Amino acid sequence: MENLQTILQAGTPVLIDCFATWCGPCQAVPPILKEVKEKLGDKIRIIKIDIDKNQQLAAQWKIMSVPTLLFFREGKLIWRESGVVPAHQLIPALAKALSDTN
């Protein structure tokens, strides 16, 4: 299994879905992420992290509520949003973050 730090440092930007199994709104996120993946394809990698199983990461990233989406490029946190973000809002935000250069 790949190391998370390796994934974050890789050339492909990463969208992390921080969720919890007990979280009702978190159940709405997978179909949204499927749509994002269909639109953005290989420009982005999407991974899910259960905050209950990864409490150290949740603390490090200061996750106060779920779902929270984190967008990393070259190991840097570029963008974050808590709550359910509809695909029609998420896709343009990610596309903008993908096109922005440092």
Pick the more confident residue, 58 or 102.
58
Output the pLDDT for position 5: 87
* CA R_g for the chain: 13
The active-site residue out of 7, 20, 23, 95 is: 23
φ, ψ for residue 54, nearest 5 deg:
-135, 60
74 phi, psi to nearest 5 deg: 50, 40
Please report the beta strands in 1-102, taking only residues with DSSP state E, as ranges in sequence order. Answer: 14-19, 45-50, 68-73, 76-82
pLDDT digit string (tens) for 7-25? 998 889 999 999 999 999 9
**Catalytic residue (one of 26, 36, 40, 85):** 26
The model carries a pTM of 0.92
Annotated active-site residue 26? The verdict is: yes
Instruction: Report whether the peptide linkage leading into residue 31 is cis, meaning its omega lies within 30 degrees of zero.
Output: no
Percent of the chain with pLDDT over 90: 82
Q: Which fold has domain 4-99?
A: Glutaredoxin (3.40.30)
Residue 29, judged by CB atoms within 10 A of its CB (0-12, 13-18, 19+), counts as buried
The predicted-structure confidence for 44-78, as pLDDT tens digits, reads as follows 999 999 999 999 999 999 999 999 999 999 899 99
Residue spans of the domains in the chain: they are 4-99
Q: So what's the pLDDT on residue 11?
A: 87
